[in-house]
Structure 1
Amino acid sequence: MNYYLSILKNYATFTGRARRSEFWYGILFNFLALIVANVLDNVLGTKIMTDFGFELPYGYVYIGYVLLTFIPFLAVQVRRLHDVGKSGWFYLIVLIPLIGFIWLLVLDCTEGTPGPNQYGENPKNVG
């Protein structure tokens, strides 16, 4: 939970490095929060109805949460890429269908470069 809160506190910090644990625990708690937002949409009846007469599987609470957390989670992804020695622009690799997502997933699971790199100190050694 502390990692999730630190991601939200560093709202738009695209500099530095992020450990694997910060990234993956943040993703885990974000996923749980998305489930809670979806349940709230169901309980409150705030699902979105389209002009075609069917209900979308998400509602206003869900969309609001996604919009509020998009930048912090983009920032932690960039910091995670910095930890493995890649530029934040490398995130655009996901635009390559299927292979780009798999490549990014492998990078997210890879241990960061030991010691300092061009993006900062190793976060394992700090604090």
Structure 2
Amino acid sequence: MLYYYKLFWMNGLNLKGRSRRKEFWYPELMTFIISLVASVLNYIIPIPSILAIIIYWIFTIATYIANFSVSVRRFHDLGMSMLFPIIFFIFGIILGVTNNYIAEINTGSFLYTLFVIIGVIYIVMCIISLAICCTNGSKKENKYGKDPKEI
């Protein structure tokens, strides 16, 4: 499992080629475990909030970039282009940046309705992405390279 996490960070900016399901899911599991442990430690050990925020943002940005690249390679494994991951991650960034401001918007306004629609679209895209990332890759060579199980 640690091998795939190391591979996840080594290929963090690689958008070419294909990746197996293991290359996608083991780093997701490790990121979840690290986030959980960090949250517990942050609760137990009192550290300055500015330091916790800086560490959080560095980890989040690095993980977000690496998740994007492995998602692109996972879609390549199925013979799909990187258009869906680009749109998916743009929606995620929009919702992440505006998350703190949604509570302050009047619920009857157009902007609130727009954010709700974007949120629903994002949830649907999450389900689609999850289904795609759980699917077996194509066993034949495609335009993105050979089957990663053969390499």
Structure 2 length-normalised TM: 0.69
Residue 93 of structure 1, CA deviation: 4.8
Structure-2 residue corresponding to 1:74: 68
Structure-2 residue corresponding to 1:26: 27
Alpha-carbon distance in structure 2 between the residues aligned to 1:47 and 1:98: 31
Structure-2 residue corresponding to 1:53: none
Larger Rg: 2
Output aligned runs, 1:18-97, within 5 Å: 18-42=19-43, 43-47=45-49, 59-91=53-85, 92-93=87-88, 95=91, 96-97=121-122
- For 1:41-78, what per-residue CA distance to the aligned partner results, in whole angstroms no more than 9, with x for missing partners? 33242335xxxxxxxxx733222211222211211111
Alpha-carbon distance in structure 2 between the residues aligned to 1:31 and 1:76: 16
Aligned residues of 1:23 and 1:76 also touching (Cα < 8 A): yes
Residue 39 of structure 1, CA deviation: 3.1
Structure-1 residue corresponding to 2:3: 2
Q: Which runs of 5+ in 2 are unaligned?
A: 92-120
Structure with greater helix percent: 2
Corresponding residue SS for 1:98: helix
Q: Call closer, same or farther: CA 1:44–1:114 in 2, change over 3 Å.
A: same
Alpha-carbon distance in structure 2 between the residues aligned to 1:114 and 1:60: 42
AA partner of residue 47 (structure 1): S
1:109 aligns with 2:134: yes
Structure 1 length-normalised TM: 0.81
Structure with greater strand percent: 1
Q: Call closer, same or farther: CA 1:46–1:60 in 2, change over 3 Å.
A: farther
Alpha-carbon distance in structure 2 between the residues aligned to 1:68 and 1:46: 22
Q: Which runs of 5+ in 1 are unaligned?
A: 49-57
Aligned residues of 1:41 and 1:60 also touching (Cα < 8 A): no
Aligned residues of 1:17 and 1:79 also touching (Cα < 8 A): yes
Residue 104 of structure 1, CA deviation: 0.9
AA partner of residue 122 (structure 2): P
Q: Which moved more, 1:100-109 or 1:35-44?
A: 35-44
Alpha-carbon distance in structure 1 between the residues aligned to 2:63 and 2:7: 12
- The number of aligned residues is 117
Alpha-carbon distance in structure 1 between the residues aligned to 2:41 and 2:66: 22
Alpha-carbon distance in structure 1 between the residues aligned to 2:22 and 2:55: 27
